[in-house]
């Protein structure tokens, strides 16, 4: 295990480094104890492409919420065909999903922001926590320009919310156009829903295509007008919503 001081020193050095250098450091430092998390959106596929060239045996995992669009499963197979990587699939706890849907219905997320946050916790956040508990480091496609809440993301950071493991955000300083240019130049596999007008892709019932002029994340939980467009994987919901979701989750687990 790398000492915290060494991680902090590396983080400072790598803050101005390119994505390839950040990933190379992560792979060399953590080996199989590092994995890339992706939902096969553009940023995640850029990271997979870079990492697979550096280390063909790199681990990749995704969260299968049980509500994914069919096109996302196609991307899992495409990653295997293109890179020879068999994606590790992480599922929610079936008992928690059953309890949640029995109490609140299958489409509870439309009822309130707190219910949506609860669904995200059960289907995404808690499974991620369990997965990260088996790792020393993980990499994500988070970019500072995606959302105001992501503006302070560092390329290498200690993830205090997940047991203080190391989190890599190799594309933190990439603008959206750089992602698009890389995908075009390298002919990286592209999620089919982009061609249908989607600019951010999540669970099928919670994502729609965006209209011209809309924010790229406007298609996520579009029925919520004021809430932050975050599921809790990278950043927790806002205070009151988080507390309400805590209560709902405790009721499920009792």
Catalytic residues: 231
Q: With contact defined as beta carbons under 8 Å apart, do 207 and 200 qualify? A: yes
Distance of CA 163 to the CA centre of its chain: 17
59-63/137-139 β-pairing? unpaired
Q: How far is CA 196 from CA 57, 68, 200, in A?
A: 32, 16, 11
Return d(Cα 130, Cα 87) in angstroms, integer: 17
- String of DSSP letters for 32-81: GGEEEE--S-HHHHHHHHHHHHH-TT-EEEEE--S---HHHHHHHHHHHH
Neighbour count for residue 122 (Cβ, 10 Å): 25
């Amino acid at each position: 295990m790398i000492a915290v001081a060494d991680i902090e020193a590396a983080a400072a050095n790598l803050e101005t480094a390119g994505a390839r250098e950040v990933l190379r450091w992560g792979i060399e430092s953590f080996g199989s104890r590092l994995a890339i998390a992706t939902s096969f959106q553009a940023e995640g596929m850029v990271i997979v492409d870079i990492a697979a060239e550096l280390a063909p045996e790199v681990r990749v995992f995704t969260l299968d919420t049980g509500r994914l669009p069919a096109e996302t499963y196609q991307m899992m197979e495409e990653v295997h065909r293109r890179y020879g990587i068999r994606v590790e699939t992480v599922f929610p706890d079936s008992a928690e999903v059953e309890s949640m849907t029995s109490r609140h219905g299958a489409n509870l997320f439309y009822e309130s922001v707190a219910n949506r946050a609860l669904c995200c916790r059960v289907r995404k956040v808690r499974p991620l926590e369990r997965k990260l508990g088996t790792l020393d480091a993980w990499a994500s496609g988070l970019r500072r320009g995606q959302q105001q809440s992501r503006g302070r993301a560092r390329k290498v950071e200690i993830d205090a919310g997940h047991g203080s493991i190391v989190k890599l955000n190799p594309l933190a300083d990439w603008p959206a156009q750089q992602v698009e240019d890389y995908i075009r130049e390298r002919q990286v596999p592209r999620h089919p829903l982009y061609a249908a007008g989607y600019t951010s892709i999540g669970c099928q019932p919670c994502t729609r295509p965006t209209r011209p002029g809309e924010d790229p994340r406007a298609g996520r939980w579009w029925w919520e007008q004021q809430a932050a467009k975050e599921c809790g994987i990278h950043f927790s919901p806002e205070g009151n919503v988080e507390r309400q979701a805590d209560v709902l989750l405790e009721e499920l687990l009792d």
